[in-house]
Amino acid sequence: MDQGLVPNRYAKALYKFATEKGQAQRVYELMKHLAATFAGEQNLQQVIANPFVPVEDKTKLLITAACADSKTDTCFVDFLRLLQDNNRIDLIRQMALSYETLYRRENNIYKVNIVTAAQLPADEIKRLHDLVEKHLNGASMEFTQSIDPDLIGGFVININSERLDASVSNELKQLRL
């Protein structure tokens, strides 16, 4: 997903700064939490983009949304101040997504999601987990599982932009074609 030139540049600068300070992983966790908060709260982007909300309030809101501690997460807070000074605070969501993508690429982390039609037993999930891990040749992964009853049966594995669809609904669709 292309986030745009400006957010990518700010994300790269933040990654470099955080790496120098030894806080790259902590900033990654904060950015992940911030992106999840934006996804869960539709009104957050509207508040951040609202020109009538003071910038200081937006910064405080973003610190709270990211679950950051203004005393220990100085790298993240300094970054928000930079955005505040350059009038770029409204692009923070895209910057968070860009930072996540950059951090995963630099640290060889894959985002893996397994979608099943029903809840699988723990041993089956472990087996799928091991199969994906073998496919990634030892790279680390962020593993999530979700349930979609429309699959009817089987599973779908999403690894970054790759997709393995072994679902019954896909097989029926292929038969129709």
Angstrom distance (rounded) from CA 165 to CA 171: 9
Angstrom distance (rounded) from CA 128 to CA 175: 26
Given a cut of 90, whether residue 78 has pLDDT beyond it is yes
CA distances from 27 to 45, 149, 165, 176 (A): 20, 36, 33, 48
Given a cut of 50, whether residue 1 has pLDDT beyond it is no
% of the chain exceeding 70 in pLDDT: 98
Provide the 10 A C-beta neighbour count for residue 175: 7
Given a cut of 80, whether residue 3 has pLDDT beyond it is no
Q: What is the pLDDT of residues 112-170, one digit of tens each?
A: 999 998 998 999 989 988 888 888 887 899 999 999 998 888 889 999 888 988 888 88
DSSP state of 150: G
Residue 137 · residue 120 · CB < 8 Å? no
**How does the average pLDDT of the chain come out, rounded?**
91
State residue 2's pLDDT score. Answer: 52
Query: Is the backbone of residue 26 left (phi > 0), alpha (psi -120 to 50) or beta?
Result: alpha
